[in-house]
A = this chain, B = another copy of it.
Amino acid sequence: MTNEPRRRRSADRANKGSTAIPQLPLQALRNPYKPMEILSADQVEAIHSAAVHILEKFGIEVMSPRALALFEKAGAKVNHATQTVHVDRAMVDEALKTAPSSFTLTPRNPERVVRLGGDALNFTLVAGPPNVHDLERGRRPGNLRDYCDLIRLAQHFNCITMLGNQVCAPVELPANSRHLDTYHANLTLTDKSFHVSAIGRGRALDGIEMMAIARGMSLEEMRESPALTTIISVNSPRRFDDAMADGLMTMSEHGQAVCITPFTLMGAMSPVTLAGALAQQNAEALFGVVLSQLVRPGAPVIYGAFTSNVDMRSGAPAFGTPENTKANIASGQLARRYRLPYRTTNGSASNAADAQGAYETLMSLWGAVLGHCNLIYHAAGWQEGGLTASFEKFIIDVEMIQHMIETLRPIEVNDAELALDALGRVPTGGHFFGEAHTLERYSTAFYQPMLSNWQNFESWQEAGSLDATQRATRLWKKALEDFVEPALDPARREALDAYVAKRREAIGAGEP
């Protein structure tokens, strides 16, 4: 971690004396250790070769005439009857030459810049659930009020370094223009980078235009200083639909990042074996990388992984399983094979913010971290396999993420830390509570959790025997109370309002 002990201390001091929830300071997160390798070099190459075989022999269906034309022009074999593109090894290698190994995304607040690639580590708010849940109000369809509260929480906690795509679908708003409302909320209630919706050209472009307004920039300037990314969800197996292909091309044209994420659920959209699913994931991700580089060589692109298994008795997706955890580690080896930034997910299929939610999420989180993932998507708030954004789960996840960040902070070893003076002074069987070495450090020596309860049983019982999930309710409420809306230049805000009004009207009149 690059966070300095000094910065940490001052943040802890800032927490002290106030009633604020303790949290880690704003910092550029890094993973300083060697990535774990669970595939041998030979195995990585075998999976790569299988992926090239898929691309060359089986091909990828692309439902976008524009994309088909691009591939054909670049020399790919295109079967127009089946809309299938066959990309060869040379074309993949060519794309990998121009795709950047790392890049930054700069939102309207440049202090919130996000680095992707290398040993950078980022965590996003859950994205995409149709439902919302908290312990007091129960489960309900996504809506703008909850949307805004959830992104306020993501803004409040420093360890959430960017927002994903819509944290929940605000279903009371018209489907064809609700992206304007959510972008507007993202740009006014937060100052972090976010994922635009790239279902079609229009939604992507609206995100880019609105971020440019919020940054006070032209689209040309934004092209050289990207701020946004999007998830291109492949319709696995081997299909890029029209809207996603167009979204991808729009983002790449404008120099914004795309993350190509095959959805390779083993046994359903992928072979039941990890090797087969990883080969397919690789083929589909590389195909998207090639498309991005055909649109604009050097366009920022992320290797996305989402390999997990299904419950073979019901076909239901499962997350945080051993297979998912292994895929998270192995996918990092594949992304590094291509020198591409790497995205994956920590998830759970649990219907509650309970022990299962915690262990499934933490298993896949460790897999992602050991795989040196740069962008851990859906990192906070994911419940029910992604069908629900949970307020309590958000708090539990932030706590687990903070544990992980602190675990990655290197151990200092020097004379002061070795404490031989104190060790020689404290008598055998004695204690260190009163030692100067302890007193000088005790207030900042350890990570201070917000959710963990370390009371003895009797005190805990007197305080109501609240479990972690019940305590999380208090914490998200407190964080919403403490939320501070980040300042935004009034002229830019006005321009954003105007953009939304104009586009809403245009969309109402049938424009895309």
Contacts and interface: CB of A to CB of B under 8 A. Distances in A.
Contacts of A2: none
Contact of A445 (B309, B354, B414, B424): B309
B442 A351 contact: no
B403 A322 contact: yes
A237 B445 contact: no
A275 B417 contact: yes
Interface in A305-329: 309, 311-312, 314-316, 318, 321-323, 325-326
A392 to B, nearest CB: 9
Contacts of A84: 428
Interface stretch (A187-195, A433-441, A491-499): A433-441
A311 B260 CA distance: 44
A351 B460 contact: yes
A271 interface: yes
Q: Give the bracket for the number of chain A residues in contact with chain B.
A: 35 or more
A454 B311 contact: yes
A283 B357 CA distance: 40
B267 A445 contact: yes
Interface string A23-42: 00000000001101111001
A299 B438 CA distance: 38
A221 interface: no
Interface stretch (A47-55, A94-102, A168-176): A47-55
Contacts of A318: 446, 452, 454
A433 B275 contact: no
Interface stretch (A209-217, A288-296, A362-370, A475-483): A362-370
A126 interface: no
Given A139-B457, A351-B455, A351-B461, 11 more contacts: A235-B429, A266-B445, A268-B431, A273-B437, A273-B441, A279-B420, A312-B446, A315-B433, A321-B449, A355-B358, A356-B358
Interface of A: 33-34, 36-39, 42-43, 46-47, 50, 53-54, 57-58, 60-61, 84, 139, 235, 237-239, 266-276, 279-280, 309, 311-312, 314-316, 318, 321-323, 325-326, 330, 349-360, 362-363, 366-367, 370, 384-385, 387-388, 396, 399-400, 403, 406-407, 409-414, 416-420, 422-424, 426-433, 435, 437-438, 441-443, 445-447, 449, 451-457, 460-461, 465, 467-469, 472
